[in-house]
Amino acid sequence: MISFFRIFWNSSLIFAISIMLGLIFPGPAHSSQALITPALMLMMAFSTSEIELEAGPGINGALAGFAMNYLLLSGLILAMAFTLEDEILYQGFVVMAAVPPAVAVIPLTRLLDGDSKLSLYSEALCYLVSPVLMPALILAFAGRSGVDVLSIFETAILLIVLPFIISRYLRRFDLDPVPPINLSFFLVTYIVVGLNSEVIIEGLKSVALIAALRTFGIGTATYIACGLICADAKKRVSMTLLSSFKNLGLAAAVSLMLFGPRAAVPSAVCILAETGFYIIFSAAKNLTSKHRAKTSPTLNKRRD
């Protein structure tokens, strides 16, 4: 029983299971669609519960993290989205570019031994400006689709501002945020994949290349670039996650509300890409750590 509950701390396994269930047993997803919003609110509240609003030495790192996500990653998504002929899929990518980093960046940073403080400051900045930046980007790049600006602001307040306010109260309790985040992420991912299970294979043909480039391509490039400029190993992990992970649960929910189920296909496909990237990144980190652990005693003996 204890071993079973440990699953809730294993993000990679949770992500993989939710995707498989969504593809194999999509039926319950259609009757569970109403749970997306409360699950997102719960996930957002716990994810931001550790974020400090104080300005301090981390502001420069926060600006760098903001640039990696909202300038580099969003810019890449928008540039590639312009190559699509399908207007609905294009709108889905516009929403994806407009949303802040994945709420999972903070727990994933912790799991990958990254710079948690950098991720916290960066997420704080991104989420604080997203209620303005998110609707602005959607209107700027998808405004011709007749987007209701009020509905965008309502969505931003409901899924970003309100959970952030709730998170201030959660800070009073000594709670581990990882299990509720993973459970919420499991539910959102399962529903999004389940709702789009019939078209996700078709969507893979249309957006698989973009999903791979905006996740594996930019993530790998960032990791290599940070290594070349001698960035701290922990900061390297954080920057890699910030440059390759978007809040796809939020993107899918907003796409569903604004443009319909097909607009959520890019988010569903990119969830597969981000899950795969995290699993590979985590495995690579573990192999590197084990290799260093084996070679360290040898190096120490040589020095002696």
Q: What is the pLDDT of residues 258-268, one digit of tens each?
A: 888 788 889 88
Q: Give me the domains of the chain, ranges plus CATH numbers.
A: 32-289 (1.20.1530.20)
Average the pLDDT over 136-152 and give the result. 72
Average the pLDDT over 39-51 and give the result. 79
pLDDT surpasses 80 at 230: no
Q: What is the pLDDT of residues 109-118, one digit of tens each?
A: 877 888 878 8
- Kindly compute the dihedral angle of the four CA atoms of residues 40, 42, 44, 48, in this order, to the nearest 10 degrees: 180
pLDDT surpasses 70 at 196: yes
Q: Which residues contact 5 (CB under 8 A, 6 or more apart)?
A: none
* Residues facing 101 on adjacent strands: 246
Assign 3-state DSSP to the chain and report helix, strand, coil percentages, each to 5. Answer: 85, 0, 15
Q: How confident is the model at residue 1 (pLDDT cuts 50, 70, 90)?
A: very low
In contact, 100 and 123? CB cutoff 8 Å: yes
Percent of the chain with pLDDT over 70: 85
pLDDT for residue 219: 94
246 in helix, strand or coil? Answer: strand
In contact, 250 and 99? CB cutoff 8 Å: yes
Q: Which residue has the higher pLDDT, 173 or 212?
A: 212
- Neighbouring CB atoms inside 10 A of 183's CB total 17
Angle between helix 265-303 and 11-24 (nearest 10): 150
pTM summary value: 0.77
Q: Which residue has the higher pLDDT, 72 or 299?
A: 72
